Chains A and B, each alone.
Chain A
Amino acid sequence: MAVQPQVTGLLRFTTAGSVDDGKSTLIGRLLHDSKGLYEDQLESVRRASRDGLELAYVTDGLRAEREQGITIDVAYRYFSTPKRRFIIADTPGHEQYTRNMATGASTASLAVILIDARKGVLPQTRRHAAISHLLGIRRLVLAVNKMDLVGFRQDVFETIRAAFLDFSQRLGPCELDFIPLSALDGDNVVERSARIPWYSGPSLLEYLESVPAENAPEHQPLRLPVQFVIRDGTGFRAYAGQVASGEVRPGDEVLVLPARKLACVQSLPSREGDLERAFAPMPAAVSLADQVDVGRGDMLVDPLQPPVAARRIRARVVWMSERPLTLQTVYLLKHTTQTVCTEAVRMVSRLDIETLDERACEQLGLNEIGTVEFETHRPIFCDPYAVNRTTGCCILIDPATNLTLGAAMIESAEEGGDARRALPSAGRRGMTVWLTGLSSAGKSTLGQALYDRLWAMGHKVEFLDGDTVRQNLCKGLGFSKEDRDENIRRIGFVAELLTRNGVVVLVSAISPYRSIREEVRRRIGDFVEVYVNAPLAVCEQRDVKGLYKKARSGQLPGFTGVDDPYEPPENPEVECRTDLETPQESAERVLRYLEARLA
């Protein structure tokens, strides 16, 4: 990798504490004493401080929180020592702690949890530890702060340690360390303190500099979610994605999911020349020797140890929305590089974060944590979160507001699930998906692909293809402007009836004129315009029905694109560049949009 981390690399850790535990002061102290603060930043802290140099202000960013005197979100801090670089995800301890802590912990490999020596282990302390552990952090440092206020007494520290150890047995396996310190005075933060002679361990910074940086997924099977298909215009293709685990080399046989086809890796092109191997977490571009249709959302995996192609998953969920998580509600689930519709089919339990007891529940409210079973409309290729953090995590999104509602960590997954069951049967919405574009742009091909996919997903689907329609419903109409408009009007009429009855209607028609398309849109309402776009030259080269040839030789007057205009949509809901992407990719693009609308 290009940025060479010094000596032992980069450590990402999170900090958590209750209000007034002195967390901001501790971070300010770490930055200050490790010379991570610049002079002008210090001056600005001095200006903001009411009383001397209040280090807490170092980490306070936004005006609102300064006015309220609290931090309101996750803030990221950066500092480095000659030994290591650090990224701190600083999370606040007030009411939104679950959401913020989960966010901060999701990218961290270590958590520093503050305890006020005067108060000992509080309910919040247990929560912070539990959430960190839940998010996959297996190394916790309990920073027992404000030791100066308890006279640096060893018995106070030992009591706190014993209390936490007692609780932590219920957490599951993790490394625990305890450091007595005073953030305000700097004892045991950077330098070891002479005022705590009975403690022989490292200072907090020494500790952070010396722990293993990553719980890296070594020797794991290959997982490479495809993000993007790179085409250079010469027919060359490479599948770009970040290696989530394992490694890949030219000559390797990989399994392409969901196609379930084997393919041989031809090369790993990069700007610096072909690579000999790519391993997690490197970005890679993979070109395959075999012809396999691969697109975004697909995954290249180790054929001997493939992930589960799961339609039914059981996951730990951290809910982050005021609107509770309920059964029979459709959510979007984003996992690696694909987004699918999903629905909670069973509420298993809610976690009481203070006692770590599991309780029965019917829904999950804001900042609650629970175990939920989901069914997805399409399979996702996943591993348990405990095994692979990248292929084991997902976020849940509200299809109506686009907000991120929650985070889910997969515990187990199975292939089962019934495509039709995953869809809400009552109140299913109809809509018209209008494919417009030049002749030979690929409308019918895309329409057919969409038809198959929607049908498999359990929708009622109808396909009105322009050519077919002209042989019956619109028989006798010609190609004048008036006849063309009449043709579209009739198709629109039928589409409207079907849409009203809960059918997804796919219309494939050149429909060259903007005004009539807008008229149909107004009538139907639930209307999705898909611009099937390929340059005229490409369409003419394809000339699937030989019509361009006829038009050019004067046999078909008034042919769209040749001697009659095509007015492209100004604001199509979806645009598919069929000269740049495969029909499968175009269908994927449209489906992604439809899934949200249909939900």
Chain B
Amino acid sequence: MLEAESIHILREVAAEFSRPVMLYSIGKDSSVMLRLALKAFYPAKPPFPLLHVDTSYKFGEMIEFRDRTCAELGLKLIVTRNERALEEGADPFRLGTQRCCAALKTRALLDALAEGGFDAAFGGARREEEKSRAKERVYSFRDALGQWDPKNQRPELWNLYNARIDKGESMRVFPLSNWTEVDVWSYIQLESIPVVPLYFAREREVLERNGQLIPMEHHPPLLSGERPVKVMCRMRSLGCTYCTGAVRSTAASVLEIVEELKLARRSERENRVIDHDQEGSMELKKREGYF
């Protein structure tokens, strides 16, 4: 059911937009979305490139995985960075996570979409993930500035998506809207989809701060009295190292993750520093153009 719905959406977009692109964030949702795209257009390759917004604060393992995946599958990958902001020294430690995200992620994304002339961008977001996403459409209309107006979205009935836009406007499309985290992992298991090893538990060097486990890659500045510790943990969702808290876990395989999730009592984005900046912060970011 979910697979059928997603493939239907991928094909609709490929047929109705002139320049679609798939946001590829390297995480588990992107991995599932990519597999669905490979299925949807088989035996041809997906008729759109992948786009990765590289903040330069991603995990090394993610970049390696990304390059290997695209090379193996022979897919076109566009990597974009907000070079100017990086030259000016944007980093999450000094700018704060909100402003860092606005510059390195949202700005870079909007620039890349404009530069590529992309009129539709697939994202792997799921409605279940976060409260403000529960109301997100499968086709989310963005004005010429890439902004989202939660009060002015088109009603979406049956599987009939209104793909009509004017020049300069664009659509964000979420083929995995109705998937849950457990669905994603069950599918990864069933389809043997490769994922970044960061999802699997092992002992990692982290910084424990306000109950969050912050990975030490990219060397977050230590506050007085803080010291990195080794903890058996895994990433439940992947972003930049500083904003992706790890969770304590011993789940070292896909099967163990599925089992763990069925018992889980904490939601998957709780380890995302960025969502908790402010109550309702995800919604504010989305209005500005964040995915």
Binding site for B on A (CB under 8 A): 1-5, 9-10, 38-41, 44, 47-48, 59-64, 66, 72-78, 80, 85, 87, 99-100, 102-103, 106-107, 227-228, 230-233, 236, 238, 240-242, 269-271, 281-283, 285, 296, 320, 332, 334-335, 337, 389-390, 393-395, 397, 402-404, 407, 571, 575, 596
Stretch at the interface among B50-58, B82-90, B104-112, B163-171: B163-171
Most buried by A among B12, B154, B264: B154
Binding site for A on B (CB under 8 A): 1-5, 7-8, 11-12, 14-15, 18, 38-44, 127-128, 131-135, 150-151, 153-160, 162, 164-167, 177-178, 180, 182-183, 186-187, 190-191, 264-267, 270, 279-280, 283-284
Given the complex of chains A and B, what is the CA–CA distance between A396 and B112 in angstroms? 33
Is A575 in contact with B43, judged by CB distance below 8 angstroms? Answer: no
What's the least CB distance linking A252 to chain B, in Å? 20
A404-B1 contact, Cβ under 8 Å, with A61-B135, A62-B135, A283-B8: no
Chain B residues closer than 8 Å to A296, beta-carbon distance? 15
Shortest Cβ distance from B8 into A: residue? A242
Given the complex of chains A and B, what is the CA–CA distance between A236 and B14 in angstroms? 18
Given the complex of chains A and B, what is the CA–CA distance between A4 and B258 in angstroms? 14
A63-B280 contact, Cβ under 8 Å, with A228-B15, A334-B162: yes
What's the least CB distance linking A417 to chain B, in Å? 22
Given the complex of chains A and B, what is the CA–CA distance between A74 and B177 in angstroms? 14
Given the complex of chains A and B, what is the CA–CA distance between A228 and B183 in angstroms? 27
Given the complex of chains A and B, what is the CA–CA distance between A269 and B40 in angstroms? 11
Chain A residues closer than 8 Å to B186, beta-carbon distance? 3-4
Chain B residues closer than 8 Å to A320, beta-carbon distance? 155
Given the complex of chains A and B, what is the CA–CA distance between A168 and B19 in angstroms? 49
Chain A residues closer than 8 Å to B134, beta-carbon distance? 59, 61, 75-77
Contact of A271 among B11, B42, B133 (CB under 8 A): B42
Is B266 in contact with A40, judged by CB distance below 8 angstroms? Answer: yes
Is B190 in contact with A107, judged by CB distance below 8 angstroms? Answer: no
Contact of A402 among B160, B164, B182, B265 (CB under 8 A): B164
| Given A228-B15, A230-B43, 15 extra CB contacts under 8 A | A3-B187, A3-B190, A38-B270, A60-B131, A66-B280, A75-B135, A227-B15, A233-B44, A242-B8, A270-B39, A283-B7, A335-B160, A393-B158, A397-B162, A571-B167
Chain B residues closer than 8 Å to A76, beta-carbon distance? 127, 134-135, 177-178
A62-B283 contact, Cβ under 8 Å, with A80-B182, A393-B157, A393-B158: yes
Chain B residues closer than 8 Å to A332, beta-carbon distance? 164
Given the complex of chains A and B, what is the CA–CA distance between A175 and B69 in angstroms? 51
Is B167 in contact with A232, judged by CB distance below 8 angstroms? Answer: no
Is B44 in contact with A1, judged by CB distance below 8 angstroms? Answer: no
Chain A residues closer than 8 Å to B158, beta-carbon distance? 106-107, 389-390, 393, 395, 407
